[in-house]
Amino acid sequence: MRINRKFTVRFAKLALLGLALATVQRFYAQNLTEVSGQIKEAVNEDPKRSEPPTAVWLTPLRPGRAPVPAGSHGFTLLQKDKRFTPHLLIIPVGSVVHFPNRDPFFHNVFSLFDGRRFDLGLYEAGSSKDVTFNREGVSYVFCNIHSEMSAVIIALATPFYTQPNLDGRFRIRDVPADDYMLHVWVEGEDQAVLDSLKRKVHISGTHLDLGSIILPKRPQVPNSHENKYGQSYDNPEPAAY
């Protein structure tokens, strides 16, 4: 029986490629690290008080060393009882966020900040609108009718992120061994303080404990903001109810 030489060579190449891919997968599976730590205040006057909304993420210092996170359609920022839920939403760049209105009245969701500027206009109870977050950044989200409503959406170009629990502890799992920049975002914190919390991190082994990351003081979250026209909420649109 004659064997087709071209077929044999092609089969051998595919086999070698499959073996190489399997080797890479085994290498990464054996070299993944769990990174942990805790965000703390320098002086905590009330130990029972939970930490402010916080995000922690790692970005590779060498381009192309981490998988690019795939966007998703599975994120929702719910409007119910004149509140956004969740208050803080962390998503991969390219994701679509749904904004359903579950209140029995109109809402007008908007954001005029760096992550993704948008204005969804008035929409009624039971309806929903979507926004695609196609670049990195922090978006502060409000309702143009109800000043008490606020939320934050952080879009990231790295898959290595997490939100600490109520006592500030965090874990980022399955991080490949490499050099990274650690980023911390805390609602209400000055940008200069956030920049000072950045640090280079070399990750290897199965677990890395970063210890305590200290906030110099508890940030003050602004309790007021302007509407989408840059005006006070004292005179809302008469037809907005």
pLDDT attached to residue 4: 60
Q: What are phi and psi of 131, to 5 degrees?
A: -135, 135
- Classify residue 76 as exposed, middle or buried by CB count within 10 Å of its CB (0-12, 13-18, 19+): middle
Tokens of 63: 């381009």
Query: Is the pLDDT confidence value at 192 over 60?
Result: yes
What's the Cα-to-Cα distance from 189 to each of 44, 162, 194, 218, rounded to whole Å? 16, 18, 7, 8
List beta partners, residue 169. Answer: 38
pLDDT attached to residue 51: 73
Mean pLDDT in residue range 97-126:
94
pLDDT band at 223 (very low <50, low <70, confident <90, very high): confident
Please give the order of strands across the beta sheet that includes 199-203.
161-162, 54-60, 178-186, 199-203
pLDDT attached to residue 105: 96
Q: Which domains does the chain have, with CATH numbers?
A: 33-215 (2.60.40.420)
Q: Is the pTM of this model over 0.95?
A: no
Q: What is the mean pLDDT of the chain?
A: 85
Cα distance between residue 137 and residue 93, in whole Å: 9
